[in-house]
Amino acid sequence: MRAIETEVKFRIRDVMNLERNLQHAGFERQTPRTFERNVLYDTPDRRLRNERQILRIRQYGDKWVLTHKALPVQGDTGPYKQRVETETTVGDGDMVAKIFASLGFMPAFTYEKWRTEWSDATGHCVLDETPIGLYAELEGPEDWIDRTAAALGVHRSEFMNLSYGRLFELWKQETESAANDLTFEAIGEGNTSWVPSAIEQNALR
């Protein structure tokens, strides 16, 4: 599947309240709380990162997904994060990783979360429990994102278009952590109250 992905993140302050609001807004839960592990691959000189591309193998429960993302011609628009996303399921992510290695692509960054997926007839809302906090993502058309956020009680000033990799970098800067990956083993599970000051000030996009 190849498409333009349009999404925003926002900080979850009350999970139970957000899930109630999702139900009231007509959403249905598509997947229960499921562990997700993502590994980004790159060349030793970080060519993909420098070109703002992502090559990722994701394990979500017992499903493997291979994804490539790149910037669209116009780049991000306002508070929305937009990427050209090409994605497909694969039978064995470990075997794909071996193929990547033979082509010169090695693991560059790993991030983990517990994800719950909700959807309505138009778009998706995912709830992510990460080692550095609780976040939600709204993915769909821009006008749908605005309407849905309002229905959920989320103001546009709370929108973020930062990746989890960028959030991790901000967390490291503020905490002076030596962790190299956004994993529960590297960080632990006691950081869910962290909110980066730069995001609170809406200073970084």
Given this model, what pLDDT does residue 79 score? Answer: 82
Any idea which residue has 């599947």 for tokens?
Answer: 1
Domain boundaries, the chain: 2-200
pLDDT of 114: 97
Q: What is the pLDDT of residues 63-93, one digit of tens each?
A: 999 999 998 866 555 788 899 999 999 999 9
What is the β-pairing status of strands 81-90 and 28-42? unpaired
Residues in contact with 203: Cβ distance below 8 Å, sequence separation at least 6, in sequence order: none
Write the pLDDT tens digit of every residue in 172-196: 999 999 999 999 999 986 555 545 5
Superfamily of domain 2-200: Hypothetical Protein Pfu-838710-001 (2.40.320.10)
Instruction: Write down the pTM of the prediction.
Output: 0.87
Contact call for residues 118 and 28 (beta carbons, < 8 A): yes
Return the number of other C-beta atoms located less than 10 Å from residue 125's C-beta: 27
Tokens representing 7 are 């999404």
